[in-house]
Structure 1
Amino acid sequence: MANVSAVLKPKTQDETIDTGLTAAYREEMAEKLSAILASTYKLTIKSHIYHWNVVGPLFKPLHELTEEHYGALFGATDIIAERIRALGHLAPAKLGEAAQFAPKASEVNKKSAEDMVNDLIADHETAVKAMRKAAADAGDADDVVTEDMLTARLTFHEKALWMLRAIVAH
């Protein structure tokens, strides 16, 4: 019988991957996807915190929309991390840095619902720009899987932007 602790011990990825994507491309894309993963976590956390703390006339629509968004964003983190793994790299494991993503309590207390929405809009726009660039790079490398995943993520973020902008339209 195999030594159970030896079987369960994590190992680094030493396998040769021959899927038509170069090692250099896979490493570069894994780094880009890691940054996208971090921005997705940032939006997840902010959306959740704003969901809890929004007040005023926009409470109900923003409370419901941020709940929908943080659920979808959290699901996206798994998809992005799994693509990093499929490219032959470890998903980032610096969860201790997640605290830097969350707004400080004093910042939340001073934000109106409109300020929260505008903050989320800015973060979604930043995420969209990084995803659009990474998707173009994936397309150039014939990495249709990553390109498709990022297209789906862009679809979510652009719809989120439309909805957030509609909430604060004057």
Structure 2
Amino acid sequence: MQTQIGIKQENLSKIAHSLCQILADEFILYTKTRKAHWNVEGDDFYNKHLFFEEQYNQIDEIIDGVAERIRMLGHYAPATLKEFLELTHLTEQTKENNDSKGFIKELLIDHESIIIHLRENITVYANEYQDLGTSDYITGLMETHEKMAWMLRSHLR
């Protein structure tokens, strides 16, 4: 049964595809944050181990929310690593060391990349696709990433 919520089917497909890309980005970021949690080393190990856990738990909630938004629009969410790697704007590669600053720099770059991508699409959802709900949802998601990026950035000063 088609979703009838006042948005053209063509636009629902475009929105869902865009959200699938966001979901992939979130999943890659989640995985990289888990990696930081598991592999961080140094004098600040315990504090950063807990900090990264808090961050990946937040991203886990985001992942579920994005997937549910895709389903609300009548589409299926990607759920395989292969699909995520094909859809993401991020890279799984890490270039830094296993110390907290190295992980924080890498994760901050990814959060900022996601923020820019979300910001660029807020008005697209509202104006081009006539979907104020997704536009509002993405605005909130962007604000969450802005706060998470701020937390990461604060550790580098």
Q: In the alignment, what sits opposite 1:47? A: 33
1:19 to 2:42 alignment: no
Q: In the alignment, what sits opposite 1:146? A: 134
Change (3 A) 1:88 1:102: same
Q: Which moved more, 1:16-25 or 1:158-167?
A: 16-25
Q: Which amino acid aligns with 1:119?
A: E
1:117 to 2:104 alignment: yes
8 Å CA contact 1:46–1:102 kept in 2: the answer is yes
**How many Å apart are 1:102 and its aligned residue?**
4.9
**How many Å apart are 1:19 and its aligned residue?**
1.6
Change (3 A) 1:25 1:98: closer
Q: Which amino acid aligns with 1:84?
A: I
Q: Which moved more, 1:41-50 or 1:90-99?
A: 90-99
Distance 1:128 1:116 in 2: 18
1:157 to 2:152 alignment: no
Q: In the alignment, what sits opposite 1:8? A: none
* Structure 2 residues without counterparts, runs of 5 or longer: none
Q: Which amino acid aligns with 1:80?
A: V
| Structure number with bigger Rg | 1
Q: In the alignment, what sits opposite 1:59? A: 45
Distance 2:51 2:131 in 1: 33
Change (3 A) 1:31 1:128: same
Q: In the alignment, what sits opposite 2:54? A: 68
Distance 2:59 2:3 in 1: 29
Distance 1:155 1:98 in 2: 23
Change (3 A) 1:130 1:99: closer
**How many Å apart are 1:97 and its aligned residue?**
5.3
Change (3 A) 1:89 1:117: same
- Tell me the number of residue pairs that the alignment of Structure 1 and Structure 2 aligns: 152
Q: Which moved more, 1:137-146 or 1:124-133?
A: 137-146
Match of 1:135 among 99, 118, 122: 122
Structure 1 length as normaliser, TM-score?
A: 0.79
**How many Å apart are 1:135 and its aligned residue?**
2.0
8 Å CA contact 1:29–1:134 kept in 2: the answer is no
Q: Percent same amino acid among aligned pairs?
A: 32
**How many Å apart are 1:57 and its aligned residue?**
3.2
8 Å CA contact 2:39–2:98 kept in 1: the answer is no
**How many Å apart are 1:56 and its aligned residue?**
1.6
**How many Å apart are 1:87 and its aligned residue?**
1.3
* Structure 1 residues without counterparts, runs of 5 or longer: 1-14
